[in-house]
């Protein structure tokens, strides 16, 4: 049986929070061993914990705040719109991707695809 919508929402909320303030290891723990990550959409697909950890490690140490804007959940899958605000020096970089995730029956993330492009980054 698919993971419940409530369980999936919990994982999505935890993911968004961890992208802001978590470690790469904490984020990777949400993913299945053989999970895939395509971020941004159209880039090379990263497969497995090592490749996924390498990806999120680049975010560690950045001064970031995140918030979930909205999530839609059905059929054991989720699409959600969230915002990442990164401060670096005097500048603020705001990106609000739409991510799509699939989950196994326990709510472990089996794939993530992030829809955004460089032109969506707002620098203020």
Query: Contact positions toward a copy of itself, by CB under 8 A?
Result: 2, 5, 40-43, 70, 72-81, 96-98, 100, 115-117, 119-120
Q: Dump the DSSP string for 40-96.
A: STTSPPEESHHHHHHHHHTTTTSEEEEEEEEEEEETTEEEEEEEEEEEETTEEEEE-
Catalytic: 115?
Answer: no
- Set 31, 34, 39, 120: catalytic member: 39
Catalytic: 39?
Answer: yes
Q: Which is nearer to a copy of itself, 52 or 102 (CB)?
A: 102
In the bound complex, what is the minimum distance in angstroms from residue 107's beta carbon to a copy of itself?
A: 15
**Residues with catalytic annotation?**
15, 39
């Amino acid at each position: 049986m698919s993971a419940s919508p409530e369980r999936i929402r919990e994982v999505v909320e935890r993911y968004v929070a961890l992208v802001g303030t978590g470690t790469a290891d904490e984020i990777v723990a949400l993913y299945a061993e053989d999970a895939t990550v395509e971020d941004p959409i159209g880039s090379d697909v990263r497969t497995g914990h090592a490749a996924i950890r390498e990806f999120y490690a680049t975010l560690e140490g950045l001064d970031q705040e995140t918030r979930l804007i909205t999530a839609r959940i059905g059929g054991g899958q989720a699409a959600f719109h969230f915002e990442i605000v990164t401060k670096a020096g005097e500048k603020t970089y705001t990106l609000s991707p739409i991510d799509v995730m699939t989950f196994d029956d326990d709510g472990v993330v089996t794939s993530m695809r992030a829809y955004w492009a460089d032109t969506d980054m707002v620098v203020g």
